[in-house]
Amino acid sequence: MNTADLVKIAEGANGPVYVYDAEKIKRQYERLTSAFSGVGKLRLHYATKALNNISILKYIQGLGAGLDTVSIQEVRLGIQAGFDPATIIFTPNGVSLNEIEEVAKLGVQINIDNLSILEQFGSKYPDIPVCIRINPHVMAGGNSNISVGHIDSKFGISIHQIPHLLRITENTNMRINGIHMHTGSDILDIDVFLHATEILFETAKNFRNLEFIDFGSGFKVPYKQGDIETNIEELGEKLTAKFNAFCSEYGRQLTLAFEPGKFLVSQAGYFLTKVNVVKQTTSTVFAQVDSGFNHLIRPMLYGSHHEIENISNPNGRERFYSVVGYICETDTFGSNRKIAEISEGDFLAFHNAGAYCNTMASNYNSRYRPAEVLWINNEAHLIRARENFEDILRNQIELDASILSGKATVEA
């Protein structure tokens, strides 16, 4: 997919649009499987929350992946997309026992991350296999907002609570078939991550009937020129050696599992917007686009960087712009960015828009959520229609005027 293809899609979209390049998703998937080709059994569970369009799920299922889910709705999406329930893992946080029970009925692998639910579920369903999510108290990521392995995280069962955990599993005689961790996103230091895996291996030794060990994910991808990223090849070489050695000591070949989301889809995504206004103030030139944090919240929520390219004038003279949206809030996508000269009506492309972008969109300011397009086999295919005014009103209940005015009569 080239710049001309993006411009053509933007021109026909009649509003902001997300575009995903299938070939880039496939390349990332193959890069990961290649890095861990030395493992006897490998399972990649794609993190649904990163990008949950059903056509994307079907495509990733076709590559051979399983699915990582965090809600019963994501589980149902996966099943609708054709995933075998046995290849889906359910790793919720803070949900009710009832939701976990409903998911278990679907035949999905359950992953529990707190002692209370573990004891309740194990007492009622000792024969249903359960994975346990451990908090190793290790932050392998570079952003505290998206690192979940620290000691005060709400995710996982603390390694300091292992004795309590073992008491529960022994008293309930429940089946533990997996051990899991997730240190958070943007893994920068492979050695720190490997240290966390050692903690997981030590925990795994407490359970003699494991089938898999799940190391989560959080692999960092580059967001700008020269940006650092997780060295997947180095990680693959080092973790494969450690994992194989552990399996030899354990006495059985286990499955090594990961849950890549951002790694697979981030770089495959582009968010296309149109410039409504170029506005000069005393010190800043604003390029105001037909979008805002209702469509792409990551820069405002996490301080995330997305490269911004003027695809209408890619070879123009570079100038400095602050790219902002049309929402009645401060919605700055990028401050003082060097971008090819922008004119009103130009189309801008935001890079790395495949993960945690459209899935976090909203209808704030009563704006429509964007369309989505999949670029596959050198063709653009609409996979989500742009919303309309009827979608805004859907599920709203318009009360009768007499009720709202307080003049409604009470029937005897």
| Residues that are catalytic | 328
Whole-angstrom distance, CA of residue 258 vs CA of residue 408: 59
Judging by beta carbons within 10 Å of its beta carbon (0-12, 13-18, 19+), is residue 38 exposed, middle or buried?
Answer: middle
DSSP for 178-204, written as a single string: EEE---BS-B--HHHHHHHHHHHHHHH
Which one-letter amino acid corresponds to residue 342?
I
- End-to-end CA gap in the chain: 68
**Residues in the chain, total:** 412
Whole-angstrom distance, CA of residue 84 vs CA of residue 88: 7
| CB neighbour list of residue 62: distance below 8 Å, 6 or more residues apart | none
Are residues 323 and 308 in contact, defined by beta-carbon separation less than 8 angstroms?
yes
Are residues 40 and 347 in contact, defined by beta-carbon separation less than 8 angstroms?
no
Q: Write out 285-338 in H/E/C secondary structure.
A: EEEEECCCCCCCCHHHHHCCCCCEEECCCCCCCEEEEEEECCCCCCCEEEEEEE
Hey, what are 287's tokens? 């390029």
* Residue 304 dihedral angles phi and psi, to the nearest 5°: -70, 145
| CB neighbour list of residue 27: distance below 8 Å, 6 or more residues apart | none
The three-class DSSP label of residue 52 is coil
Are residues 172 and 122 in contact, defined by beta-carbon separation less than 8 angstroms?
yes
Which one-letter amino acid corresponds to residue 308?
I
Whole-angstrom distance, CA of residue 69 vs CA of residue 221: 21
Query: DSSP character for 71?
Result: S
Query: CA distances (Å), 294 to each of 357, 361, 365, in order?
Result: 10, 5, 8
For CA atoms 57, 59, 61, 67, the dihedral sign is negative
Whole-angstrom distance, CA of residue 315 vs CA of residue 339: 10
